[in-house]
């Protein structure tokens, strides 16, 4: 067995002074060769990485212009379908419309230009059935099974009721709405009437 080398605390072998070069942020944190992180931590704003013509944005945020351009491109690429009265929402998912009248009121009251209107169909969100093993996971014994037939029968009944339940809410889909020509004509006619009225 080789003999262990002994290095004394006071000896020059134990430590030496070295000069280290690296990136340091304004708080004094050393980042070594990671210039990006030093600049990220030391700055508040930055130029858009994709398009220098865009305005500056917060370092820890996103370029709003790039975001809007991306959203517009995604909307333009969506398949479209003519609206037949199904639930729809604006592209941002802020306002939901379940009938022609509510959409008409929204457009007229907010003086929305039909060319600027971006609507998508909604997808229903149904209640999820209860999986007993998952729901009682923390309470189950090691084998992970429920041995109470009455409890299982009750949960089966609840799941049967859940499966027959309608949508609990709605979410935006990836299918754009094309408004029927009759609806567009109705909106345009109402606007003309409003302009003529004293």
188: left (phi over 0), alpha (psi -120 to 50) or beta: alpha
**pLDDT tens sequence across 100-114:** 999 999 999 998 999
Residue recorded with tokens 């998912």: 93
Task: Give the pLDDT score at 77.
Answer: 96
State percent of the chain over pLDDT 90.
71
Q: Say how far apart CA 31 and CA 131 lie, in whole Å.
A: 48
Q: Say how far apart CA 8 and CA 18 lie, in whole Å.
A: 20
Angle, alpha carbons 114-125-168 (nearest 5°): 100
**pLDDT tens sequence across 126-152:** 999 988 888 888 888 777 778 788 988
Give the predicted TM-score (pTM) of the model.
0.69
Q: Say how far apart CA 108 and CA 194 lie, in whole Å.
A: 10
**And the tokens for 54?**
């865009």
Domain boundaries, the chain: 1-43, 47-77
Judge whether 97 and 176 are in contact, CB under 8 Å: no
């Amino acid at each position: 067995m080789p003999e262990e080398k002994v290095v004394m605390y006071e000896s020059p072998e134990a430590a030496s002074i070295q000069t280290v070069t690296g990136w340091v942020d304004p708080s004094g944190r050393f980042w070594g060769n990671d210039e990006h992180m030093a600049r990220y931590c030391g700055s508040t704003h930055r130029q858009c990485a994709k398009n220098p013509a865009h305005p500056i944005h917060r370092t820890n945020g996103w370029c709003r212009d790039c975001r809007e351009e991306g959203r517009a491109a995604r909307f333009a690429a969506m398949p479209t379908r003519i609206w037949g009265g199904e639930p729809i929402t604006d592209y941002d998912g802020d306002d939901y419309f379940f009938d022609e009248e509510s959409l008409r009121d929204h457009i007229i009251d907010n003086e929305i230009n039909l060319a600027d209107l971006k609507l998508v169909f909604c997808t229903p969100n149904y209640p999820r059935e209860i999986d007993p093993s998952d729901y009682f996971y923390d309470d189950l014994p090691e084998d992970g099974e429920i041995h109470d037939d009455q409890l299982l029968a009750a949960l089966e009944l609840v799941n049967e009721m859940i499966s027959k339940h309608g949508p609990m809410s709605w979410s935006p889909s990836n299918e754009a709405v094309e408004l029927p020509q009759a609806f567009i004509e109705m909106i345009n006619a109402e606007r003309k009437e409003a302009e003529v009225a004293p």
